[in-house]
Amino acid sequence: MTGLTPPPLRDDCFAMPRGAHWTPVPEALDLLRARLTTVTGAETVAVPLAAGRVLAEAAVARRAHPPAANSAVDGYGFAHALLGEGPQNLPLVAGRAAAGAPFAGAVPAGHAIRILTGAILPDGVDTVVLEEDCATDATRVAFQGRVRRGANTRRAGEDMAEGAGILPAGRVLTPADVATLTAAGLDTVAVRRRLRVAVLSTGDELRPAGQAVTAGHIPDANRPMLAAMAARWGCDVVDLGAAPDEAAAIAAALDRGAREADAILTSGGASAGDEDHISALLTGAGAMALWRVAMKPGRPLALGMWKSVPVFGLPGNPVAAFVCALIFARPALMRMAGADWPEPQGYMVPAAFTKSKKSGRHEYLRARLRSGAAEVFASEGSGRVSGLSWAEGLVELPHEAADIAPGAPVRFIPFAEFGL
């Protein structure tokens, strides 16, 4: 597989079924999952540099771990079969066994040896007694005889056997995985090339961070936010800047994104108004689908292809852009990067708020846990960007109507479950 590049996505991969209207969130996610495929090729990297990368091939152990039977403690080793009843008093052989300095000979029957944690068990040893349970004068060792066979030892290969599969393709490697791969004898591993994600903001009112903001203008908060999110998800980010509400300027930015990236995230201009050029351009390119997703915040989600590169048109309000990126862009980008489709795990906690929710849409509330209960941000407005910093996760309220009172169970999803 290493070195191969998957084919691009089809231009009609985002087309909605006939008659689709307000699409429930689970259905929209199922459609994305079914239609998106891996677009990144594979390359080989050194294991110490592999954290955060996506495995392109299942990893197979090149050596057993542990490679030989060894001691799990500092103590004294002997052959269990030769123990008698009651207290034991065994002569010690000269020398010792230590990690990295194995005992060169065999331990004679009826004898014991000083052995340290991690040391390979010498011939003639299958059991170790903890040194705290022993008395010794450096020539003999005494301990009680009720020691089970194999006590305080590790079997060869009990963790990983040589040739065994240890990590599956599609896994995003963690620092713990780096340890596992190294222990299994791998120095290099086949991973997916990092997905390149371009980020574009649109709007005459936007000014980049650090630039003076005059009347009628606002700082462009979405672009650095989305770029930081994509970077946390292991993507290489291409910053397309902020384009004014001009079709030609936006088209030029999309052209650059199609040349330099595998996917494009945009914010603003994704609905159907006079200045919604993202939607108009994608429609004109013949590869546009305005998914009306039954959710708050969010709803319109413009999905399309620009010169064979998928475009995810997110809402312009920062909170809606953030939530839509978590719910839709993240799993889509992870699938394109070759990773397993992520399923954020939430858990039920008591509510520390009151809310009457209508039927017909999913709602995501900025939330945090305090004293084991979920508090929600005071305002549900999509422009209240400070609520994103206040929050530690989302409370997900399902499609059905609900009257929520303090103490009622609600589903809380920490931001860590979205890779943040």
Asked if the structure places residue 224 within a domain, the reply is yes
Q: Does residue 9 form part of some domain?
A: no
CA pair distance 67, 134, nearest whole angstrom = 28
The enclosing domain of 95 has a CATH number of 2.170.190.11
Range name among 11-25, 85-99, 132-146, 337-351 with the lowest pLDDT average = 11-25
**What is the DSSP track for 205-237?**
TEE-TTS---TT-EE--HHHHHHHHHHHTTPEE
Number of other residues whose CB lies within 10 A of the CB of residue 273:
10
Contact (Cβ atoms closer than 8 angstroms) between residue 187 and residue 228 = no
Mean pLDDT, all residues of the chain: 89
Q: Predicted confidence band at 80 (pLDDT cuts at 50, 70, 90)? A: very high
Q: Region 84-107: what's the mean pLDDT? A: 94
Q: What is the mean pLDDT of residues 232-247?
A: 92
Contacts of 149 (CB under 8 A, 6+ apart): 80, 81, 126, 127
For the cut 70, the answer to whether the pLDDT of residue 277 exceeds it is no
Is residue 10 included in any domain, yes or no?
no
Rounded alpha-carbon distances, angstroms, from residue 336 to 180, 250, 256, 332, 367: 26, 24, 19, 6, 29
Q: Which of 40-54, 191-205, 252-266 has the lowest mean pLDDT?
A: 191-205
Give the 3-state secondary structure of residue 161.
Answer: coil
On whether residue 49 sits in a domain, the answer given is no
Name the nearest CA neighbour of 218 among 201, 200, 238: 201
- What's the whole-number mean pLDDT along residues 335-344? 96
- Spatial separation of the C-alpha atoms in residues 179 and 182, rounded to whole Å: 5
- Answer with the one of 173, 191, 209 that is the final residue of a domain: 191
Peptide bond into 102 cis (omega under 30): no
Domain of 307? 22-41+194-336
pLDDT of 280 higher than 80: no
Same domain, 262 and 331: yes
Does residue 7 form part of some domain? Answer: no
In a domain, 84, yes or no: yes
336 falls in which pLDDT band (50, 70, 90)? very high
Quick one: 124 and 221 in the same domain?
A: no
Interhelix angle 247-260/277-284, rounded to 10 degrees, is 70
What pLDDT shows up at residue 235?
97
DSSP secondary structure letter of residue 42: E
* Residue in this structure with the two tokens 């995230």, named with its chain if needed: 265
Question: 149 falls in which pLDDT band (50, 70, 90)?
Answer: very high
CATH number for the domain spanning 378: value is 2.40.340.10
Determine phi and psi for 347, rounding to 5 degrees. -145, 155
The answer to whether residues 207 and 301 belong to one domain is yes
Residue 225 lies in a domain: yes
Domain count of the fold of the chain = 4
In this structure, are 248 and 218 located in the same domain?
yes
163 DSSP β-pair partners: none
Q: Are residues 198 and 251 in the same domain?
A: yes
Q: Is residue 215 located within the same domain as residue 309?
A: yes
> Can you tell me the distance from the alpha carbon of 153 to that of 147, in angstroms, rounded to the nearest whole number?
12
Q: Is residue 6 part of a domain?
A: no
Q: Are residues 76 and 208 in the same domain?
A: no
Q: Which of 316, 336, 356 is the last residue of a domain?
A: 336
129 and 204 in a single domain? The answer is no
* Residue from 97, 78, 70 nearest 145 by CA: 78
**Phi and psi for 390 in degrees, rounded to 5?**
-65, -35
Strand boundaries in 6-110, DSSP class E: 22-24, 42-46, 59-60, 70-71, 75-78, 88-97
CATH number of the structural domain spanning residue 36: 3.40.980.10
Kindly state the average pLDDT of the residues 398-405. 93
> Do 408 and 378 share a structural domain?
yes
Tell me which of 336, 364, 393 is where a domain ends: 336
Q: Are residues 144 and 215 in the same domain?
A: no
Q: How confident is the model at residue 275 (pLDDT cuts 50, 70, 90)?
A: very low
Listed in order, strand segments (DSSP E) in 270-389 are 288-296, 300-306, 309-314, 347-350, 355-357, 362-370, 373-376
CA angle 262, 341, 191 (to 5 degrees): 60
pLDDT at 274: 44
Say whether both 206 and 331 belong to one domain: yes
The answer on 232 and 198 residing in a single domain is yes
Walk across the sheet containing 140-143 and list its strands.
127-130, 75-78, 112-115, 88-97, 140-143, 135-136
Taking only the tens place, the pLDDT of each residue in 370-388 is 999 999 999 888 778 899 9
